[in-house]
Amino acid sequence: MQKNPHKKARKIMNRKERLKKVGLPPGSLIYTGESKDQQPIITVFDYDVNLVREEALSPNLVHTLSIPKNGTRWVNVYGVHDVELIQKIGAAFHLHPLVMEDIVNTSNRPKDDVFAHQLFILAQFFNYNANEMDVTQSQVSIVLGKHYVLTFQEHKSGAFESVRKQLRAEGSHIRSQGADYLAYALLDSIVDRYFLVLDQLSDDCERMEDVLLTKPTTQTLNQIYHLKGESMELRRSVWPLREVINHLVRNENQFFSESTVFYLRDVYDHTVHFIESLEGIRDMLASMLDIYLSTLSNRVNMEVRALTVVAMLFMPATLIAGIFGMNTKWLPWQNNTDGFWYVISIMLGIALVMGLIFWRRQWLNKSSISED
């Protein structure tokens, strides 16, 4: 767990990446993610109601891509570290320099930019690393044009596989719709993914809660704080996406058809639902912290009382022993061989009476506020 805070700090601002760009003119294409050696993977889908063509494109042949006149073309790119490649695609599809910058710079917050003939949407995938209870994010950019959709992913995630399946299916609804519906379907699959993360996060919260009620450790406390941090991090990342989708639903620039906007509202509802669920998890974690701290304070209470009771039981006996140890000329039962037992009896008697008083005042319970 000790390592996590650093990760967190890095996530907060993606500093190192961001700093690469300070002092450069706007529109400079500098890949700000971790450097990679794998070659980017490019897949192209061309489809309309009647046919679908799916092919993998070599990065060298990217310049052959063009904006189609009809049907829908979906170009998906895994890996955005090859700046030249992005520039070639950008040239083919007339991307604005700032859009290319945003695609390559992997430390953006969700946003949408409206251009004359294009809509640019930037969102985040989330992955939950169950071992470290860590949420990692990777960026996905969507460009929507009249007859094409471009998607750029930082890593291969498999999130769009369900969309591909629908495209390949003969007679599926998506095939009869335009590029705007494809863009919706992609956004939908992104947001659907969030619920997987939420599920895992929620599972870990429950597990923490079980641990908390059975044998809490300071480790538990740290993990609760960590999960709380992750859920706030997640909320901070999804909140702007809510704004983005809300913006798309208002659809002031007519990139989406009336019927697709209907579906977009569904995605919006899911996003709101996600944020509210996160809010619920945050409440749950806050309440777990409260229970932890009240359990802790209750234990301290119990121990202070134990000290009190023990001290009170021993003090009179110790005093009596001291008294009978005095070297005064006369002591009670001085000449009685049973005197020792009399004294011991007095000690036990006092201890018993005190025990009774404590018992009636319910001080012998583990804690002043008794546990049932």
Interaction with its own copies in 66-125: which residues (CB under 8 A)?
A: 96, 98, 108-109, 111, 113
- The answer to whether the Cα torsion of 209, 210, 213, 217 is positive or negative is negative
Stretch that binds its own copies, among 47-55, 74-82, 130-138, 187-195 (CB under 8 A): 187-195
8 binds its own copies (CB under 8 A): yes
**Counting contacts by CB under 8 A, is residue 218 touching its own copies?**
yes
Task: Candidates 139, 151, 202, 271: give the one binding its own copies (CB under 8 A).
Answer: 202
Task: Using the structure block, give the residue that is written with the tokens 């794998």.
Answer: 38
Mention every residue, 6+ apart, whose C-beta is less than 8 A from residue 202: 277, 281
355 makes contact with its own copies (CB under 8 A): no
Closest approach of Cβ 278 to its own copies, in Å? 9
Considering only CA atoms, give the Rg of the chain: 34
Question: Tokens for 94?
Answer: 């007339």
Nearer to its own copies, 60 or 328 (CB): 328
CB 193 within 8 A of CB 125: yes
- 213/164 Cα distance (integer angstroms): 45
Burial of 97 (0-12, 13-18, 19+ CB in 10 A): middle
Q: How many residues bind its own copies (CB under 8 A)?
A: 128
Cα 30 to chain centroid distance, Å, stands at 28
CB of 74 to its own copies, least distance (A): 16
Residue 13 vs 51, nearer CB to its own copies: 13
Report, in Å, the least distance between residue 123 CB and its own copies: 14
- Among positions 238-267, residues that touch its own copies (CB under 8 A) are 240, 262-263, 265-266
Of the candidate spans 1-9, 40-48, 129-137, 249-257, the one that interacts with its own copies by CB under 8 A turns out to be: 1-9
- All residues at 6 or more sequence positions from 94 whose CB lies less than 8 Å from its CB, including other chains: 67, 117, 118
Binding residue for its own copies (CB under 8 A) from 312, 346, 350, 355? 312
Report the residue number, 69 or 171, with the smaller CB distance to its own copies.
171
Q: Which is nearer to its own copies, 61 or 310 (CB)?
A: 310
Selected range binding its own copies among 44-52, 79-87, 145-153, 317-325, rule: CB under 8 A: 317-325
Which ranges of 215-257 does DSSP label H, i.e. alpha helix?
218-250
Crossing angle between the packed helical segments 258-324 and 179-214, to the nearest 10 degrees: 10
Pick the closer one to its own copies by CB: 78 or 358.
Answer: 358
**195 touching its own copies, by CB under 8 A:** yes
Q: Extract the tokens encoding 17.
A: 């990446």
Segment 18-57, which members bind its own copies (CB under 8 A)? 18-19, 21-27
Please answer whether residues 99 and 120 qualify as being in contact, where contact means their C-beta atoms are separated by less than 8 angstroms: yes
H or E stretch at 127: strand 119-129
User: Does residue 281 interact with its own copies by CB under 8 A?
Assistant: yes
Contacts of 28 (CB under 8 A, 6+ apart): 21, 101
Which of these ranges, 38-46, 75-83, 134-142, 271-279, lies near its own copies under the rule CB under 8 A?
A: 271-279
- Nearer to its own copies among residue 79 and residue 184 (C-beta): 184
Single residue of 301, 346, 350, 355 touching its own copies by CB under 8 A: 301
The Cα 167–Cα 170 span in angstroms is 8
* Residue 275 sits in the site that holds its own copies (CB under 8 A): no
What DSSP state is assigned to residue 94? T
| Out of 250, 254, 340, 359, the residue judged to bind its own copies by CB under 8 A | 340
Per CB under 8 A, 176 contacts its own copies: no
Please report, in angstroms and rounded to a whole number, the separation of the first and last CA atoms in the chain.
35
- 357 lies in the binding site for its own copies (CB under 8 A): no
